[in-house]
Amino acid sequence: MKELQHLNKYFLKYKKQLLIGTAITIIARIFLLFTPRYVREIFVVIENYMKGGVTEQAVKSQLTIVIIYIIGASIIAAIFTFFMRQYIINVSRYVEYDLKNEIYDQYQKLSLNFYKKNRTGDLMNRISEDVGNVRMYAGPAIMYSINTITLFVIALIYMFNEAPKLALYTILPLPILSIVIYKLSKEIHLRSTIVQQFLSKLSTFTQESFSGISVIKAYGIEPQTSVNFEALAAESKEKQINLAKVQAWFFPMMILLIGASNLLVIYIGGMQYINGEIESLGTIAEFIIYVNMLTWPVATVGWVTSIVQQAEASQKRINEFLRLEPEIKNLVDVHTEAKGDIVFNNVYFTYDDTNIQALNGVTFNIKAGETLAILGKTGSGKSTILDLIGRLYDINSGSILINNTPIKEHNLTDLRNSIGYVPQDAFLFSDTIKNNIKFGKEDATDDEVIEAAKNAQVHKNIVKFNKGYDTILGERGITLSGGQKQRVSIARAIIKSPEILLFDDCLSAVDTETEEKILKNLIKITKGKTAIIVSHRVSSAKNANKIIVLDNGKIVQEGTHESLINVDGYYQHLYLKQLSETDSNKA
Ligand SMILES: Nc1ncnc2c1ncn2[C@@H]1O[C@H](COP(=O)(O)OP(=O)(O)OP(=O)(O)O)[C@@H](O)[C@H]1O
């Protein structure tokens, strides 16, 4: 129960509903327990009549009154039972809602390293399935526990008052029932966890197959994927059957134990009646009703124990993530401005997980309003520089200054808000094109969206779609070409008019003519702002105020286009190679 203590703050928050729910549960059970005693009353009335003690008229009116009492008590119990669920189950839904939000907020705070170490499926499981298990504790488990305790305490008082020996025999088989149900519930849980694992394997496989359907079709491997699917589905079926086998024991066990208890009541009660230890056969009837009323709550003791164990295990998994401290923390509460110069001073950076030293003493600076182009072989550390400016990672040594202030002394939200970042792999959401662009600036007007799209040279493509800017992208809608995606992603970055613009090889899928036009627009847009363009093309770099060439995390060349084309090195070779490619394309 240590892990579940995390939920206490929520129980405290909803204490009013819980207290009302508990009171309602107790009242509902009290009224429910009127029935057995009234049934005994009926027997007594009839027995008195048989003995000739009362008239037929009197019996009729006595029976009518008792029956009205039974109906009345049942209706009241039913109404309170309705409200019992309304209060306690609702609390569990509130707790579920709060916990999901808490986990989601925490996920958002955690750094990229966390996402590399943990699989998306696992993150999703903890926020959905594990929270679901915890909800069973916060609602049904609490409700059934209050229910069982109330019913038991009141029924036992009545039973021991009425016939102590019979009461003892009646409750004798109940602990056995509880233990059997507990063992069964545990086994059911074990097997259903395995079923769940296979189901998620199956859905991951299906999802991947259909996301990559074009690759599957192009390679003609449909028969092979069908065989793989069939194998997974067969295993999943096996596990389902295994689960069904144990589940099938649940109700027979209940029926058997209820039957045994009933028999015991009839036998012991019958003997006691014969011996004159109990006065009326009504007591036997009353006790049979108690047995049937108590069986289910007693069974739930086993069930509830297994729910609590599952919830504890799930909350433990949730707490593991909730207790993680984000590696990248905002250390400044006041507002800061990330405008102007960017300085890298002997920066060293190694990725924790791979131990790859991506930057190896990098030093450069860009003044406000300037454009820097970064070139270099793949894996030389270009994207890493951009990630470090957005403080997605903290450096190992050296310093990064923005606006002459160390990057850690910037308010993290302000820093990221002042950056417009276009990643290497343009990621667009399954939403309209307009909303994908507005993602950069939520309150942007339609005119601003169009303006950004025009500057990114994608407006003409968008208006050709039937629904224009309202065209849905992704799984539910159309698929954009690589170049179109990159340009929508550029529009998203420039719409917010940030102080720092980071373009990570985002023109690679665009033809050189369009690239030229976009770059021209960028000169206009980035006026007074700082821009860094990572590229493999000289054409993207040539207009930059400064160009650096990286190799193995080190700057190996630095200068302007004019200076670098005259020096033997990576830039000149790239320039000559791309020049000859352009010439041969023209020829
Ligand atoms: N998230 C990461 N985790 C671990 N290692 C990484 C990560 N990102 C990059 N690396 C490694 O760091 C080195 C530098 O990568 P980086 O992405 O900065 O290179 P790049 O110059 O941008 O490459 P490209 O031109 O192919 O985009 C590479 O060896 C890469 O494998």
pLDDT tens-digit map of 498-557? 899 999 988 887 787 888 888 888 888 888 889 999 998 888 888 899 999 999 999 999
Compute, in degrees rounded to 10, the torsion defined by CA atoms 59, 65, 70, 75: 150
* Closest Cα to atom 31 of ligand 1: 379
The DSSP letter of residue 324 is: P
How much distance in Å is there from the Cα of 450 to the middle of ligand 1?
Answer: 34
- Phi/psi of residue 172, each to 5°? -55, -50
Q: Is the dihedral of CA 487, 490, 494, 496 positive or negative?
A: positive
444 to each of 105, 452, 476, how far by Cα in Å? 25, 10, 24
Atom 3 of ligand 1, nearest CA residue: 351
CB 370 within 8 A of CB 426: no
Sheet strand arrangement including 405-406: 357-366, 342-350, 397-402, 405-406
What residue spans in the chain does CATH classification 3.40.50.300 cover? 422-497
Interface pTM (ipTM) of the complex?
Answer: 0.95
Residue 315 near residue 130, CB atoms below 8 Å: yes
Mutate-to-test residue for ligand 1 from 113, 118, 351, 502, highest number of ligand atoms within 8 A of CB = 351
Question: If you take atom 26 of ligand 1, which residue's CA is the nearest one?
Answer: 378
- Distance in Å, CA 381 to ligand 1 centroid: 6
Q: Is 144 helix (H, G, I), strand (E, B) or coil?
A: helix
> Topology of 422-497 in CATH?
Rossmann fold (3.40.50)
Among protein residues, the one with the nearest Cα to ligand 1's atom 16 is: 381
DSSP state of 466: T
Contact 298, 149 (CB under 8 A): no
How far is 93 from 96, CA to CA, in rounded Å? Answer: 5
Query: What's phi and psi for 352, nearest 5 deg?
Result: -55, -50
What atom in ligand 1 is closest to the CA of residue 387?
18
For residues 310 and 319, give the distance between their C-alpha atoms in angstroms, rounded to a whole number: 14
Residue 586 pLDDT: 57
Distance 121 CA to ligand 1 centre (A): 24
Tokens of 314: 């799930």
Q: Determine the residue of 118, 377, 382, 387 to mutate for testing ligand 1's pocket, defined as the one with the most ligand atoms within 8 A of the Cβ atom.
A: 382
Which burial class, exposed, middle or buried, applies to 369 when counting CB atoms under 10 A from its CB (0-12, 13-18, 19+)? middle
pLDDT of residue 100: 96
Q: Count of CB atoms within 10 A of residue 32's CB?
A: 22
Q: Whose CA is nearest to atom 7 of ligand 1?
A: 351
**Host H or E run for residue 345:** strand 342-350
Contacts of 548 (CB under 8 A, 6+ apart): 364, 372, 373, 374, 375, 555, 557, 558
Torsion of CA 184, 187, 193, 199, to 10 degrees: -80
Q: Is the backbone of residue 368 left (phi > 0), alpha (psi -120 to 50) or beta?
A: beta
The class of domain 3-322 in CATH terms is mainly alpha
Cα–Cα dist 198/207, whole Å: 14
- Residues within a 6 A CB radius of ligand 1: 351, 353-354, 356, 358, 376, 378-384, 424, 505
**Which numbered atom of ligand 1 lies nearest the CA of 553?**
14
Ligand 1: centre distance to CA 482 (Å): 21
CA distance 326 to 122: 18
Residue spans in the chain of domains classed CATH 1.20.1560.10: 3-322
The pTM of the full predicted model, rounded to 2 decimals, is 0.77
In the DSSP assignment, the letter for residue 141 is I
Atom 28 of ligand 1, nearest CA residue: 379
The two tokens of residue 199 are 């189901």
| Helices vs. strands in the chain: H and E counts, helices first | 23, 10
Within 8 A by CB and 6+ apart from 380, the residues are 550, 551, 552, 553
Residue whose CB lies within 8 A of the most ligand 1 atoms, among 117, 344, 383, for a mutation test? 383
For residue 4, give the nearest of 110, 133, 178, 149 by alpha carbon: 133
Q: How many residues does the chain have?
A: 587
Residues of the chain with pLDDT under 70: 475-478, 582-587
- The predicted structure's pLDDT at residue 389: 94
